[in-house]
Amino acid sequence: MAHSRLIAAVSSAARPRIRKVAPKCELRFVESGDELLREIEHCDMLILGAHFDESTAVAALERVLARRDTLPVVCVRGTGSRYGQRSLHALRMALNELGAANFIDLLEYPDDESGNARVRALLEHLL
């Protein structure tokens, strides 16, 4: 995964965790859907947060894959998520159905070297 170019469309609260998960990657954080669409041509993978750009992950995924349908997209739920279990399940199913390669609930992995290594391995599998 070293030297891979990743776009991370995640909330500011999730950014420190993404940096820990992908320390050797070239990371570019984006703030909005428009910025995301401008940057996707220059990356190897997209990490899309459930709460990106006012929780528009579903719409963002549709727009991204309409432009780059072979781009690996990993959706994540980061810290401080507002989703309950039913909503989270529905979101996971919708994103997977639309073409996300994986959905990773970061809250299921400890924020330590072991947990971050496990998340890193999930990302590496898709690159």
DSSP string, 35-72: HHHHHGGG-SEEEEETTHHHH-HHHHHHHHHHH-TTS-
Q: What does the block give as tokens for 10?
A: 């995640």
Q: What is the pTM of this model?
A: 0.90
Q: Which residues pair with 75 in a beta bridge?
A: 48, 103
- pLDDT band at residue 78 using 50, 70 and 90 as cut-offs: confident
> What is the per-residue pLDDT for 38?
92
Domain 5-126: give its CATH architecture: 3-Layer(aba) Sandwich (3.40)
Per mean pLDDT, which of 61-70, 76-85, 88-97 is the most reliable?
A: 61-70
- pLDDT band at residue 55 using 50, 70 and 90 as cut-offs: low
Cα Rg, the chain, nearest whole Å: 13
Q: What does the block give as tokens for 112?
A: 């330590």
Q: Which residues pair with 47 in a beta bridge?
A: 8, 74
- pLDDT band at residue 42 using 50, 70 and 90 as cut-offs: confident
> Which letter, b or e, does each residue of 47-78 get, where b requires 16 or more Cβ atoms within 10 Å of its Cβ?
bbbbbbbeebbbebbeebbeeeeebbbbbbbb
